[in-house]
Structure formats: C-alpha cells, structure tokens
C-alpha cells in the first residue's frame, strides 16, 4: 500500500450505515427514519460532515424512499442484497435494476449472514458486485473472518482473500465501499479492538491499491462492523484506515444510532 492512501483520510467522508437486517416493517421504517432525522436535526448535526445510510428490508424501501424524497431527508438509501441477474425466472430474487429505479444507491453484498445461511461463496459475491455496478449501485462489500479463521490464520488473511476475489474484473474507477466485519464480533457484544480493525483495514486498503490502483485505495471507504455502539464508535473512527461503520443491532435504536452518527460531538474525536 502506498502511504498516501492512509494520509488521504480527510478526503473520505465518514459513512455511518445502519443495517436493519430483518427488522422493522414499512410503517416502523417510516417512523424510524423520521425520528432519526429529527433527532439529528434537534442535536444540530451538520449534514455532510458524516454520511448516513439506512438499509431497510426490501418491503420497506418504497416507503422510505417516498419519505426521504418528500421531506428532503439527507440519508442514503441502501438495500441488504440483490440478485446477480437482471431479470427472469429467479423466484424471490430482487434485481439491481429495480433497486436503482427506487432511488437505492448502496447495496450490501456478501454479508456474513448471507455467506453462512444462504451459502453465498466468493463466486456469487463477485457476480453480485458486478451486477450492482452495472446498475449504478455502490456495492458495500462485506468481508470478515470467523473465530476459527482468526485462530488459525490471524485477522487479515481471510478478509484479504475475500476482497481480492470480490474485486476480480472490477474496474479501478468503480465506486465501492468495503466493510470489514469479523464474524465473531457481529451481534456478539464483543467488538474487535480498534487496533485489530485498523490492522485489517490497512491490509484491505493494500488490496485496493494492488488489485485496483492507488487512487482507488485512497478514495474508497472502509467501514468496521461488529457490535458497534455509541460507546466504542469514536475509538474506531480514530484509526486512520477506518472510515465509518456498518451498524446492525444499534441501528434499530434511534437515539443510539444518532449518537453513533454524532461520534465527533459526543466523544470529541
């Protein structure tokens, strides 16, 4: 990795992304987004200093999009998955074309829950990354090691290999986000240490430089995910290669998620 990649941290707008997983129906989604917007506004949160994204279930997306458009709410809208295919006989799947038409800008790909419960391997992840880019969506490529991987290979080896495979055939100019999510830290209450997150994030930035180019490495945001909360977010954001967070459980609690978005203020980073 060129050292310029790390030094360019200031050019990367921090991204705090809420992955709601299979929680909140469309009415609860609308109420949650409205409350988050007002909570941040009341707290004087400066729009633009941190980019906020929500990833509701598919059934909520239309309602959330309508609300965001009508009230000019400055949140990015994301989806939790997409099909590798454009259209056709794929029962239950959702095309990136449909998501793009609904104003979705980001899509999570390769979340460990999809890799584990839906047996999505590196080939499927790679195909979905290409499908997202084809439809103008920014893939949020999730990588991370299990507790067993950590013990056997250390923290970086598995995420590095997953990212290398996900980036095969991706042009250096592509707009992507990478999320480092150690599987053992997701939903466990036991987050990685900031030093662990930094070590892997730096290795992933090295992959971006090697497989894409130095500019992609300097420009691309790398998030940490896994038991992020308001009490630990600032310690991650102090690390030079961590540009934001992918937040699961804590994104469902509006005051907690708002406090995570406001990490600069409430902990003074």
What are the b/e assignments for 35-58, b being 16+ CB within 10 Å?
Answer: ebbebbeeeebeeeebbbbbbbbe
Active site residue 266: no
Size of the site for ligand PGA (CB under 6 A): 13
Catalytic residue among 111, 113, 120, 145: 111
- How big is the CA angle at 200 (ends 198 and 205), to the nearest 5 degrees? 90
List 57, 103, 154, 187, residue binding ligand PGA (CB under 6 A) = 187
* Nearer of residues 78 and 96 to ligand PGA, judged by Cβ: 78
72, burial (CB in 10 Å: exposed 0-12, middle 13-18, buried 19+): exposed
Catalytic residue among 113, 120, 145, 181: 181
What minimum distance in Å lies between the beta carbon of 245 and ligand PGA?
Answer: 8
What minimum distance in Å lies between the beta carbon of 249 and ligand PGA?
Answer: 3
Residue 220: CB atoms within 10 A of its CB come to: 21
What minimum distance in Å lies between the beta carbon of 110 and ligand PGA?
Answer: 11
Q: Which residue is nearest to ligand PGA (CB)?
A: 248
Yes or no: say if 246 and 181 are a contact pair by the CB < 8 Å rule.
yes
What tokens were used for 54? 């929500």
Yes or no: say if 145 and 183 are a contact pair by the CB < 8 Å rule.
yes
Query: Helix, strand, coil: what percent of the chain each, to 5?
Result: 50, 15, 35
216-255 binders of ligand PGA (CB under 6 A): 225-228, 246-250
* Nearer of residues 5 and 226 to ligand PGA, judged by Cβ: 226
Yes or no: say if 232 and 209 are a contact pair by the CB < 8 Å rule.
no
What minimum distance in Å lies between the beta carbon of 225 and ligand PGA?
Answer: 4
Q: Contact letters (x/-) for ligand PGA, 14-53, by CB under 6 A? A: -----x----------------------------------
List 60, 81, 181, 199, residue binding ligand PGA (CB under 6 A) = 181
* Nearer of residues 162 and 227 to ligand PGA, judged by Cβ: 227
**Inter-residue long-range contacts of 96-100, CB under 8 Å, 24+ positions, other chains counted:** 96/131, 96/132, 96/134, 96/135, 96/137, 97/135, 99/61, 99/135, 99/137, 100/135, 100/136, 100/137
What minimum distance in Å lies between the beta carbon of 97 and ligand PGA?
Answer: 25
Active site residue 164: no
* Nearer of residues 110 and 206 to ligand PGA, judged by Cβ: 110
Read off the DSSP letter of residue 105: -
Which among 94, 120, 117, 101 is positioned nearest to 109, based on CA atoms?
Answer: 120
* Nearer of residues 57 and 187 to ligand PGA, judged by Cβ: 187
The catalytic residue positions are 111, 181
Query: Interface residues with ligand PGA (CB under 6 A)?
Result: 19, 181, 186-187, 225-228, 246-250
């Amino acid at each position: 990795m060129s050292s310029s990649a790390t030094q360019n941290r200031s050019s990367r707008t921090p991204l705090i992304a809420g992955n709601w997983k299979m929680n909140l129906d469309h009415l609860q989604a609308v109420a949650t987004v409205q409350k988050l917007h007002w909570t941040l506004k009341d707290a004087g949160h400066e729009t633009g200093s941190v980019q906020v994204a929500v990833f509701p279930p598919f059934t909520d997306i239309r309602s959330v999009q309508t609300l965001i458009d009508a009230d000019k709410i400055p949140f990015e809208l994301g989806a939790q998955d997409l099909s590798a295919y454009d259209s056709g006989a794929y029962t239950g799947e959702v095309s990136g074309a449909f998501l793009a038409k609904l104003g979705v800008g980001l899509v999570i790909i390769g979340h460990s829950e999809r890799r584990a419960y839906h047996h999505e391997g590196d080939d499927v992840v790679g195909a979905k990354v290409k499908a997202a880019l084809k439809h103008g969506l920014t893939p949020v490529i999730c990588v991370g090691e299990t507790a067993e991987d950590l013990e056997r290979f250390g923290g970086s080896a598995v995420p590095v290999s997953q990212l290398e495979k996900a980036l095969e055939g991706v042009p250096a100019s592509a707009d992507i986000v990478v999320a480092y999510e150690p599987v053992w830290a997701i939903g466990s209450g036991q987050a990685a240490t900031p030093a662990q997150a930094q070590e892997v994030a730096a290795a992933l930035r090295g992959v971006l430089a090697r497989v894409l180019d130095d500019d992609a490495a300097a420009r691309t945001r790398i998030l940490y995910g896994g038991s992020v909360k308001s009490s630990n977010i600032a310690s991650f954001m102090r690390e030079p290669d961590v540009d934001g967070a992918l937040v699961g459980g804590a994104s469902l609690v509006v005051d907690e998620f708002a406090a995570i978005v406001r990490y600069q203020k409430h902990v003074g980073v």
